[in-house]
Structure formats: C-alpha cells, structure tokens
Amino acid sequence: MKSNAILTRSREGKKATGCTLMFPSADLVELAGIAGFDFVHLDGEHGTFSPESVDAMCRAAEAAGLTVTARVPSHDPSVINLYLDRGVQGIVAPHVETQAEAKAIASACRFGPQGDRSWGGGRATHYNDPKSISDDKGSRLPLMQRANAEMLVVAQLETKKALGDLDAILAVEGIDAFTYGPNDLAQSLGLPGQPDHPTVTDAMRKATDRIHSRGRKTWSDLATTANAHQLFLDAGRKFVESNRK
C-alpha cells in the first residue's frame, strides 16, 4: 500500500499539486508524473470513466509515482467501493447535504473498526490473494489499517441546505476536508449561472471561516489542482495566437 502524496505533503506543511482529468488517458497520467505533479484527480461525476478505465488510470499513476483521487458519481457506498477497489486513495463525495450522509461516506471509505468498507477482490486489495495480503499470522488487518491511514475523504458542499447543516456535518469524524460546488451552490441560492456572484462567494467564505474555526480543513488547504483540458486549451490558444501575427 503506497503512501498518499496529498497526506504526505500535508504532514510536511505543504500543499500537493494535482492534475484533474475529465476523460481516461494513461498517456496524460504518465505526462503528469513527468511534469512533477503529486496526484491525478479523476472526475467520475462529470467525466467519462468506467471501472475498467479507472483501473487503467490507477496502474498508470502508480507507475508514474502518482496518487489517484476521484470525485465519484454519487456517494452510494457501492459506487465508492468500486473506485476504492481500483486503487483510488482519495474520495471527493459530491452533493453532501446532511450529517447522516457525511457519516455514511466516511464509513464507506474505511475498513473496520473506523468504518464498514467492504472487502473485495479488486486490485487495491491484491485481488484477495492470501500470500499478498496476509501477515505471518494470516491476518489482513495490517493492510486494512494502512489503507485507512492513507485514505483521504472530502465532502463537497453544493447547496443551501448543506451550508445550513454545516455545523452538524463538521461534527462527523472521518471527513478530512471540505470543498464546494460553486455552480450548483449558485443555482441552489437562486442565482443559476452566477458562481462568482457576491452572495455565492460570501457564502463560501463564511463556510470556510466556520470550517477553519472548528480546526478542520478545506480541499484548497491540502491541494492545488489544474484541469488537464484547460492546460491544453490555455497553452494551445497562446501558441495559435502567437503564430497568427
């Protein structure tokens, strides 16, 4: 079980750098490793990822020395488990609105006694091969404890309801950080298509202050990410423009 680069950086008092992918590409993962990123983040909610492609992304990332995190399509435990069994070490759960949902997400991401993550035969658990996963006593507990210690769980707050229940959500153990969905939050606040509206930005600022006042972290405290497609578009536009003079 490899270390989670985001957690390692955080323990050193540093931020990790990540590259977000909207589509599967082992080549881009490899290039991200060469470029010096710490992790790749797969957008499973809005991207085009299947379990097979997540497997391939995790293999490529491990070869490139990168940690893999993912925003899952939903926070149903079975969906979360599919990603974890592939080798993902960080889960961003979208549309978290209540304390009960936050508890269920934290539990689904960790093995007992900290949670109730299901044990399976995926690549993350060495395909359930006894010789690969058991210690000299035949126990799988050391691997399970290591997986728990290197797991990062992030709750995404995207609605007026979520911010209204924030204090209760912050009381949940096992959620390591919080983030927002500015576009969905704007829509929830009656301002569709206006994520930069002062009402929206002020709501996120106040929520961040409350998060920090409770000694908790936001995703931006831990990591800085760049979208792979935006990096290409920005660089591509500059190249095209500079050669059209």
- What would the mean pLDDT of 92-120 be, rounded to a whole number? 96
- What would the mean pLDDT of 171-196 be, rounded to a whole number? 96
CA distance 226 to 74: 22
Domains of the chain in sequence order: 5-242 (3.20.20.60)
CA distance 129 to 127: 5
For 39-89, the pLDDT digits (tens) are: 999 999 999 999 999 999 999 999 999 999 999 999 999 999 999 999 999
On the question of pLDDT at 135 being above 90, the answer is no
> Residue 127 region, left (φ>0) first, then alpha (ψ -120 to 50), else beta?
left
On the question of pLDDT at 1 being above 80, the answer is no
On the question of pLDDT at 38 being above 80, the answer is yes
Can you give the C-alpha Rg of the chain in angstroms?
Answer: 19
Using DSSP, state whether 37 is helix, strand or coil.
coil
**φ, ψ dihedrals at 16, nearest 5°:** -90, 155
- Greater confidence (97 vs 131) lies with 97
Q: Kindly list the distances between the CA atom of residue 181 and the CA atoms of 45, 86, 127, 166, 175, in Å, as whole numbers in the listed order.
A: 12, 25, 35, 15, 17
41 is catalytic: no
**What integer pLDDT is reported at residue 206 of this predicted model?**
97
Q: Which of 46, 95, 197, 212 is catalytic?
A: 46
| pLDDT mean across residues, the chain | 95
